[in-house]
Chain A
């Protein structure tokens, strides 16, 4: 069971899409899993033959539980001595030594505790939970709400955010888009979001401290620029799946990826890597008239870029007020990692790129 977010502890297997005996290759979707973030497709990272499935559809298992055995393609299996474990004798539950000791201290009846550790053993955490029992809500919406609550609480508790904004003249972009879209069939038409994401992704190349993760008290820049695109789900909740290598995707590719992500986010068919890989988030909230976004960083990311509504507004050019289409770009960033000056340079870089849509 893959971990599909910082706060995921378990998932329910919905269906097997491959069956024992079938060949699988790296990247294939082999199963669907129900998580707090919706139904997620599980990819395989190895090629071979699906030898057997270990978890029945409908079963909820902790993160880390093996779901299936895949025999890798290369010839005969190596006679690798794997740890041999012996089943517990009848009547003796699998309980870790530390959990057994704690259960005695806390006077917990181990027979009533369900184990979630390796091979179903009762762990310290299981004993602690048995004392102060809190059942997770069954409803998906409520579970997603809880997952979001955990992430944003951690964000606001741990991350010293700073917020800066920059009004960007989108005149050139809007004109460019109108011209492009005039001759394009609807399926190949472009939206502002593709250009905004592209400008952010390209600019990030010069600001590795914003495309990073904060782990163990220090910043770890990430080589790949995977932009998490915030997509709000109308029946409640939010996902921000990755546009992988957004800086290497053309505007057309980004548009196609965006449509694909939105469609699958709505259908509850995101892939595991899309949820775990984002290195920064972009949220575009202008559709409902918001002019300024003050984002909450999704840990362990260190920045979130927001765009508000694109409005016709007064803009001064050469001393004269003219009407231009404007957007308010904002950056909420982790002050432990970057400073406002760098953030300002970043937003200015995004604005610069949007001035020349031809070069995006």
Chain B
């Protein structure tokens, strides 16, 4: 184990994949000479050359479409889209082509495409760079949507995604890139089919993913001090959802809350909440609660951005309200 940043973990997975498989190549805006908008691919152009680390024009639809074509042609492309906000320009390619062709071709075509994109707020990049639109993709059958919340997952999920026969979208939370953790720099692919219990607890289950995991764990730590034992589940895969892990936890704790940086209305939190109702209604001792972002375009000003996002204080308050006898 070594201390590794989330950014280095992504880079190590990119480098190892480029070395291991000649079909793998990286493509996107500024991934080459600039080293990636979040410096995830720094140094890779020098090591692998412009054929395999390709800078593209500012045209998401074009280069994602090119990635789909390359995947159809037998390559293993990794396409980096700068942010999930910008990925909306490529929505047609992803939703109408990448997600559908296996089904529309009766299984004749497969599209082993990996699309990486940054998501989330917290860096004062304002409304056009900071939204959490993961749920748009989690809605779509035919693609897998992953959200690595740890350094180990940042590496392991990318390696696993390259082994999938169908399109995988990976959401890297922009605030996590500098985060450092102990991790195995040479670990193989991660399991991408299961949620993981990141903290054991008995009083309440808090389900979260991506950039909200750290905040939720911090809140759980504070709650412990006031006597509330919080189980924290990291969803990891947003589509498909591993509800078995979530429901098993709720059968134990009888209370559930979801922390989601997306907006409450039509959120992933809404989907998880509905499934909890379907799968564990008679185990619930309180209504399912949610902590989501304020329903405004993400503000630029630091204090407003902080106020708009789920914060540990709000998580502590919501859990405390859910567990009135504890605390």
Contact = CB atoms under 8 A, between A and B. Distances in A.
Contacts of B289: 83
B320 A3 contact: yes
Contact of A300 (B225, B285, B321, B324): B225
A174 interface: no
A33 B227 CA distance: 20
Contacts of A85: 287
A78 interface: yes
A81 B295 contact: yes
A199 B315 CA distance: 37
A96 B288 CA distance: 11
Interface residues of A, number: 35
A7 interface: yes
Given A64-B323, A123-B325, A6 B226 contact: yes
B62 interface: no
B123 interface: no
Nearest to B322: A118
Interface in A38-71: 45, 62-66
A78 B299 CA distance: 13
Nearest to A121: B286
Contacts of B313: 45
Contacts, number: 94
Interface string B294-327: 1110000000000000000100000011111111
Contacts of A352: none
Interface in B224-262: 224-227, 229, 254
Contacts of A118: 286-287, 321-322, 324
Nearest to A122: B285
Nearest to B277: A97
A65 B324 contact: yes
A80 B295 contact: yes
A161 B163 CA distance: 52
Given A81-B265, A97-B281, A118-B321, A63 B286 contact: no
Interface string A252-290: 000000000000000000000000100000000000000
B15 interface: no
Interface stretch (A23-31, A190-198, A212-220): A212-220
B183 interface: no
A66 B317 CA distance: 10
B133 to A, nearest CB: 18
Contact of B283 (A8, A45, A63, A97): A97
A125 B285 CA distance: 9
A304 interface: no
A325 interface: no
B264 interface: yes
A276 B285 contact: no
Nearest to A96: B285
Given A63-B326, A125-B325, A117 B285 contact: yes
21 contacts: A3-B320, A6-B225, A8-B327, A9-B325, A62-B325, A64-B320, A64-B324, A79-B295, A80-B295, A81-B264, A96-B254, A96-B286, A98-B285, A116-B324, A117-B286, A123-B286, A123-B324, A213-B225, A216-B199, A216-B229, A220-B221
Interface of B: 199-201, 220-221, 224-227, 229, 254, 264-265, 281-287, 289-290, 294-296, 313, 320-327
